[in-house]
Structure 1
Amino acid sequence: PTEWICILFLVLFAATTTIHLIQAGIYKKWFFIPTMVTGGLGELAGWSGRLWSSRNPNSFKAFILQITTTIFSPSFMTAANFIILGQTIQYANAQKYSRLSPRQFTWIFVTFDVTCLFIQSAGGGIASTTNVSQAKAGSDIALAGIALQTVAITLYSLITIEFLWRLNRDKPIPGRENLSANIQLVFIGLAISTLFLLIRAIYRLAEFANGWDGKIQSTETYFNVLDGGCIIVSMFAINIFHPGRLLKPTAETEGV
């Protein structure tokens, strides 16, 4: 890894993670702490490992740190997005346009995401061994976890698109009001964040399928742009279009 690039990403991840922590406190959106903030801390650990590797390329501990944390940390961001969508649908009082209820969105997709997290963590841990056969097995396990996460993000995206389409077409309820500008901004933030999480997942899927000695794994630029860069954009998108700022509590939505 290139030293200055690692430092740049450490600064960016520190900034967005700190902002998420502050926003969680200001807007009392505490679920951001075990999701976005935890994921950001994981990315900080991963890029610290990459900085360590840039200065000590032969350090196996640095390799373990970066490979494990950069694999599973984005799972925390996807969990946040799943929760935000459910809460936004509830805030908009548009549950009848959605195939899933806000509670179902949270429980189904967060459970899906936690499963992916455990699989990726186990795979990353096994893959970091010096034993070649075990490393291959770990890589395959991590690949399965990332594939499952890609499926989850894709399904989530399709259900969200269907929800917005039904809302726009005024089905199944005629006479509904248009979404407020602030709710639309939250959906824009979610769209940007989810898109870049999906791009990152597809990249890691291709990376692990290509193998440890493949071109994708050995090309630093791919990782910097398609992993680190995508996660940074995803996190800052939610900072900018934060639901706590845009969705002010009302009598009907107090506690959402």
Structure 2
Amino acid sequence: MIVTKILLVGCGKMGSAMLAGWLERGIRAADVVVIDPHAQGLPDGVTVLGDVDLLSKTFIPDITILAVKPQVMAEVLPAYARLAGQTVFLSIAAGKPVEFFRRHLGEAAAVIRAMPNTPAAVQRGITVCFAGPGVAQEPRALAQSLLEAVGEVAWIDDESQMDAVTAVSGSGPAYVFLLAEVMAAAGVAAGLPADLADRLARATVSGGGELLRQSLDSSAQLRINVTSPGGTTAAALAVLMDEAKGMAPLMTDAVAAATKRGKELAG
């Protein structure tokens, strides 16, 4: 892990997950300052401030992580404009493009836009990043190092792809949780006790995900591997893969809706 000074603005679920990953990888607690009036129970040694005005003028962060909700970002940013040109800003706010941050922080601001997802809480996340104008290789490497503490990292060169990234991976864990939820409900409808149905759904979804992670086969091939011709799985897949009302058209519509909403949040 690159030794660095970090300013973390907002320490909710994602901010806390990243902070835990950094400390586990060797970042010193003394090198992290958190700005969050509601932060509680943070690790010993981490400086926690309720307002950026309380930040020491001698603390110049190498990177400033913007981890507040996109709905309040516009009112939060102006207080950090004084750091433009001295730090790189890394935003994890959905829907907010690089130009939005440069508008509020000044054209001198070096901004990296990132979209992580909630499996970061167990260091199994994936984050996609886009580097705005003026972001050099060193701060890119720093951002990658910090984000790798909670999972995989990928980069894109076309920022317009970020809304689709958000729709697939940022929102995606909710789709997986919904799958487990409806599988359990279907099990109950088929006659299983609720606790057993929930246990079966959880173990099957999480185990299937781990098999997918470790396997060299494609997801399509893994599906084929578990499907015997004329068997029970084939009967279920005939419903789930219906071209008109199966999972594929539903997921396409869902991702399109999430992508559209991401564009609406860009203001």
Normalized against structure 2, the TM-score is what?
0.30
Q: Say which structure is richer in strand.
A: 2
Larger Rg: 2
> Per chain length, whose mean CA-contact separation is higher, i.e. which structure has more relative contact order (CA < 8 Å, sep 6+)?
1
Q: Say which structure is richer in helix.
A: 1
